[in-house]
Homo-oligomer: A and B are copies of this chain.
Amino acid sequence: MTKTASLTANQHRFLQNLFPGTDYLTTPEQMLVFETDASRLTGVPLAVVRPQTEEQIVELMRWAHTERIPLYPRARATNVVGLCVPEKPGIVISTLKMNRIIDVDADDFVAVVEPGIVTGDLQKHVEAMGLFYPPDPASFGISTIGGNVATCAGGMRAVKYGVTREWVLGCRVVLPGGKVIECGGRNHKNVVGLDLTRLMVGSEGTLGVMSNITLKLMPKPEATASLMAGFSSLEDAMGAVSSVFRAGILPTALEFMGAEVLDCLARLTTVPWPQGDNGARAVLLFRLDGSEAALPHDLKRLHTALQNGQSTPVWLEQGIGSEQEEPLWEIRRLINPASFYVAPNKISDDVTVPRGRLLTALLGIRRIADESGLTILTFGHVGDGNIHVNVMHDASDPDQKERAQKAKLAVMEHVLALRGTLSGEHGIGLTKAPYVHRQLGEEERRIMRDIKSAFDPHHIMNPGKAF
């Protein structure tokens, strides 16, 4: 792929001229942070560049295309599957200096932003104008729109509002070779030509570099309410999920926490649900949104659906408005720190199954946990079948490490047998790339490679990732 494993003097000069001062980094100390992402895998970049304009990206892409040098775009690198890791020698492109909000239009209901803007910052900005950008990956406070679009980030509100894909109207993309294409635009409906916009969404940096992104916004819902309910068994909790949907209710968010998660939360904090013999062994957390006047009625309806279903909660608590709701959601956010009470290491996956197969999936994962002798935490977005699976283990014990790896593979096989998917949110990156062929056929992958070649004929964009 590369002609050299280090830059020539000419190449070095070119980059230095294009990216003045500290926008061009080459020392090991400067590059340290750019070697890795949240996967903790590492690579060694030849150099790091920090463009501030599209023109710089154009020049860079023209040059890298000719020189056949791999490029690794990244923003905050919160990705857990090694998507941002420069596996082969190449140039890391940090988009963090391109973080402007170019335009938020309350009449068009669009925001045009540069890729490096932090999602939560954009959300605060538009919410102050009465507007709303629904996608809320767990990382929204630290991850960027560019990264969210590149991975088609999900989040809790996806049950009602869908994932990032549904909120991207267009993007400008610099291609290897330096040409710039305009995909989509500011229109909420647009059926002219093949849908290049959504092809970019979730493409994991393998096709080009986005220089700006146009997002669809909606009016901010007037109010929200939340309800947390505890059940005496996993079966009861999943029965309740089904009762709620069958009652015609589409919650904004519907989160789940399994028994093992409840146990470790109880070690970290004072939990609100009853414990012990008649306590909660599975918890659901709902959020609703809507108009202020209508919300109490909708909350009551949810309450009724839960009480009248086949499986009644052993406990519930509800709140209207962020002050009342916040304590319920705070518990949800403690799962990650609490998990380390179980074991120092985890293998995280975010498998997804068709919504109706959740119980089968979760029972199977419990069986795999029993067989492996390890604790497997299950929680997440059951509203859309998306389960976070943490295989807890002590990686300093080779036997545990091996059992954890075997358990991970068993979960994957189990999920695929249920016609689920390897990833609902995190993407493929490096860590799941070896397993993609178990889900995608040869011809599907051939087409994906050919599409990639249409954008990136020399395959310099984020090589080794995705498919």
Contacts and interface: CB of A to CB of B under 8 A. Distances in A.
A443 B182 CA distance: 9
Contacts of A201: 195
B165 A198 contact: yes
Interface string A186-228: 1111111111101101110000000000000011111000000
Interface string A332-368: 0000000000000000000011111100000000000
Question: How many chain copies does the complex carry?
Answer: 2
B185 A443 contact: no
Interface stretch (A33-41, A269-277, A450-458): A450-458
- Chain A interface category by residue count: 35 or more
B444 A454 contact: no
A106 interface: yes
A428 interface: yes
A191 B202 contact: yes
Contact of A250 (B152, B219, B297, B448): B219
A191 B423 contact: yes
Contacts of A357: 107-108
A13 interface: no
Contacts of A193: 428, 436, 440, 444-445, 448, 466-467
A189 B158 contact: yes
A301 B154 CA distance: 31
A293 B300 CA distance: 10
A105 interface: yes
A110 B106 CA distance: 34
Interface of A: 105-110, 130, 151-152, 154, 158, 162-163, 165-166, 175, 179-183, 185-196, 198-199, 201-203, 218-222, 242, 245-250, 290-291, 293-295, 297-298, 300-301, 352-357, 381, 384-386, 419-428, 432, 436, 439-441, 443-445, 447-448, 450-455, 466-467
Given A108-B356, A293-B301, 16 more contacts: A180-B443, A187-B385, A187-B420, A189-B386, A190-B423, A191-B202, A192-B440, A192-B467, A193-B444, A195-B199, A195-B202, A198-B199, A222-B248, A249-B291, A290-B294, A293-B297
